[in-house]
Structure 1
Amino acid sequence: MRERGMEMVILPVGATEQHGLHLPVGVDTFSAIAVAHGVSARTGIPVLPALPYGCSLGHSKKWAGTISLRPETLAKLILEIAEWVCSAGFTRLLLLNGHVTNWAPLRCGLENVRHTYPDLRIALRSIWEITPKIHEFYHQDAANFHANCAETSVMLALRPDLVQIEKAKDEPDRSASCFFAYTVNKESVHGAVGTPSQADLEFGQQILETCITELSTQLNQALVEATPLEEMPP
């Protein structure tokens, strides 16, 4: 791949976390992998094996199925993976995040990577932040979304065999007016937020297709992106 000129790799980062009564614990990993491989098929950018564990401390230990890393552990994993990405000759790395509370540790990892490996260009994107439209898809029924209509719809498109929609319980976003940050067991009865009962296969397909199409466009540009100073006229 390097000999053919490919300089970038994608690292999907998910989580192992309870998602209400109706979804599997690998939702965030399934979605990150699906978008990464969809983008790879269109751009030729290779995908590294996904990290299936993330920072899920905020989901609490109330519901079985959640396994969490400490934020500093996740940040260190990114730095150590980057070492081997660099040694293989790649110069561009995308961290494709599928889990909300991974963002801060991944951003810390990004800071460490660009300090330690200044020639490696690194970016962090969460799948629901690829474009404003995708953000709208994910947040339409809850700002603090989790196992909601969007995530359930995506799983209906990816792994319907793992969705037990008859068990879905709608819950309001009780954190919306709060000043402090609370763990999910203090906000949700069943470990879900939003309206998963309204999930729809076609909506899930629309979310995935939009994520893949928009991110592919962005990455085709990123493959040849120069630094801002490199782009200045002489």
Structure 2
Amino acid sequence: MNVINVHGREISRVMEGVQFAVVPLGSVEYHGPHSPLGTDIILAKGFGERIDPALGPLVYPTVPFTSCPGKTQHYSGTVSVRPSVFIDYLSDIVEGICQLGIRNIVLLNAHDANMGPSRTVAESVTGKYRDASFLLINWWQMATIQFTEQMGIFQGTAGRGHGGPYEMSAVKAFCPELVSVQESDLELDSCPPLSSLPYVLVEGTPQGWDGYTGRIQQTSLEAGQLIVDEAAQNMNKLIKKWLEMRNGTNGEEDQHGIS
């Protein structure tokens, strides 16, 4: 259920069926000449709408403005707020949800730069509400690189990267008319990995970068539909396991039809 449709007199009744709140997190950010500025808003909202209603979600409006990295701040159309402002803003949102009595909150993220601030907020608020639990979901991690390779979705590339074919194919699955790759659009290969181990590299101007990266000519609706279906299925499995853990059930019975 979407919270904006709940009447004041219905709050108590609606709350009886709510198991968790969902706060989608987006951005207004340049993603290349072929992509909408609201790419992350479209994805966050779209995946929020793909959450299985049987799980008992209460979905909140997508947060549109956030902090954007230095590598996109100077591109036309990007709107970036200070990280401290975003942290305070998101803290107030989730504390308002906790005050309603909800203690399970999914932060459904579609913007890479939201990961750090979101965790900061979750760590802080759980110090105040000790019975609260936050599940931070980055939609792009819900479909593995191995999945796209097995399905043969992209050729010679994993497709990942800001504004790349993985992300923009997913946008096409939700809003096909808003992604427009032209033959003249450049294909840009990012820097190869420095290590097979996890690391963080932050640069103002990365290699293979012009406000986006990737072999964008491989963007397609068909790829997007496969990616979104896989990511949504895995997202719902994850949420279901989390709720089972929170409710103290063993998950042997699949009451919600998700296996």
**Normalising by the residue count of structure 2, what TM-score does the alignment of the two structures yield?**
0.78
Question: Over the residues paired in the alignment, what is the CA RMSD in angstroms?
Answer: 2.8
Residues of 2 paired with 1:191 and 1:49: CA distance? 27
Residues 189 and 82 of structure 1, relative CA distance in 2, 3 Å threshold: closer
Residues of 2 paired with 1:95 and 1:102: CA distance? 10
| Matched-pair contact (CA < 8 Å) for 2:148–2:158 | no
Alignment partner, residue 182 of structure 1: 203
Structure 2 counterpart of 1:46, one-letter code: L
1:194 to 2:211 alignment? no
Q: Sequence identity of aligned pairs in percent?
A: 24
Q: Which moved more, 1:215-224 or 1:202-211?
A: 215-224
Q: Deviations over 1:121-150 (max 9, x none)?
A: 112111112354588679983687111011
Question: Structure 2 residue aligned with 1:171, among 182, 188, 194?
Answer: 188
Q: CA deviation at 1:115?
A: 0.9
Residues 151 and 67 of structure 1, relative CA distance in 2, 3 Å threshold: same
Alignment partner, residue 64 of structure 2: 52
Residues 21 and 54 of structure 1, relative CA distance in 2, 3 Å threshold: same
Q: CA deviation at 1:78?
A: 2.3
Q: Which moved more, 1:125-134 or 1:75-84?
A: 125-134
Residues 143 and 30 of structure 1, relative CA distance in 2, 3 Å threshold: same
What secondary structure, in the 3-state scheme, does the structure 2 residue paired with 1:226 have? helix
Q: Which moved more, 1:64-73 or 1:216-225?
A: 216-225
| Matched-pair contact (CA < 8 Å) for 1:54–1:68 | yes
Unaligned runs of at least 5 residues, structure 2:
1-13, 251-259
| Matched-pair contact (CA < 8 Å) for 2:142–2:230 | no
1:31 to 2:51 alignment? no
Residues 46 and 125 of structure 1, relative CA distance in 2, 3 Å threshold: same
Structure 1 counterpart of 2:203, one-letter code: Y
Q: Deviations over 1:48-83 (max 9, x none)?
A: 111012221323433111011222222222221121
1:158 to 2:178 alignment? no
Residues of 1 paired with 2:65 and 2:41: CA distance? 8
What secondary structure, in the 3-state scheme, does the structure 2 residue paired with 1:225 have? helix
Structure-to-structure mapping, 1:195-214, within 5 angstroms = 195-214=215-234
Residues of 2 paired with 1:33 and 1:134: CA distance? 25
Alignment partner, residue 128 of structure 1: 140
| Matched-pair contact (CA < 8 Å) for 1:27–1:155 | yes
Residues of 2 paired with 1:168 and 1:3: CA distance? 51
Residues of 1 paired with 2:42 and 2:108: CA distance? 12
Alignment partner, residue 100 of structure 1: 112
Unaligned runs of at least 5 residues, structure 1:
none
What secondary structure, in the 3-state scheme, does the structure 1 residue paired with 2:121 have? helix
